[in-house]
Structure 1
Amino acid sequence: MTASEKSLQLVRLAAEAASEKLADDIIAYDVSEQLVITDAFLLCSASNDRQVRAIVDEIEERLRTDAHAKPVRREGEREGRWVLLDFLDIVVHVQHEEDRTFYSLERLWKDCPSISLPESVTQGQSQRSRETSGE
């Protein structure tokens, strides 16, 4: 079993929304073979609590307007360090970069297939990476 087309569409929309709010290290995994509760995880991070909240708000707005999807569960918003958005088909984790490093969710899901993200997302990340490294 692999992630449904609907799940892949939601992942792409959420990744684009996160990228527009300058999220870092945006990656997605097809977890449908490992979990029965969802098809995909989208992970991204931000350098501060305010940016975490902005990314979360943008993802929710984009999925609501473009896919008529609303989260059934939202956790961690008050602290702004690690916000989980559960859309049933996908689960989005937006983490403060310190928490992302500490919890290392990528390590837990590394055996799951990655989901390719839109070029606009991958190009945006590589462009920001070059800018911060001074290239």
Structure 2
Amino acid sequence: MNELVLGNAKMIAQFLEDHKCKDISVLDVSEECSWADCFIIATVSSVGHLRGVAHELWGELNTIGLEVANRHKKPSGDGWELVDCGDIVIHLMSSELREFYSLEKLWQKREL
């Protein structure tokens, strides 16, 4: 993963922490994945929290200069919002879904 992607990932992780997301992981998936270099996974406390963070995150991503490929007017209410920024993919997940899907284990937990 290049320095620009790493720097942007760290800014996004800090933003998520500032917005009360928990257990934030930044994973380098560049060797295992052909379509992204980095996953950021964060736990949200409720569907309302998920929607609020996603909405604010889109503004932050614009400020950073990252384009969102899958922007929705209203994030889904299923407890998992995937935000595709090309090299960086952000997963905002409820604790139940995060535990069930265990993305860190699936991607070998190459945490930064």
TM-score after normalising by structure 2 = 0.89
Contact 2:80/2:93, CA 8 A, preserved across alignment: yes
Alignment of 1:1-135 (within 5 A): 3-65=1-63, 67-74=64-71, 77-111=75-109, 113-115=110-112
Distance 1:33 1:90 in 2: 14
Query: Cα offset for 1:80?
Result: 4.8
Query: Cα offset for 1:57?
Result: 2.1
Matched letter for residue 91 of structure 1: V
Q: Cα RMSD over matched residues?
A: 1.7
Identity of aligned residues (%): 30
Name the count of aligned residue pairs. 111
Give 1 or 2: higher helix fraction: 1
TM-score after normalising by structure 1 = 0.75
- Consecutive unaligned residues in structure 1, runs of 5 or more: 116-135
- Consecutive unaligned residues in structure 2, runs of 5 or more: none
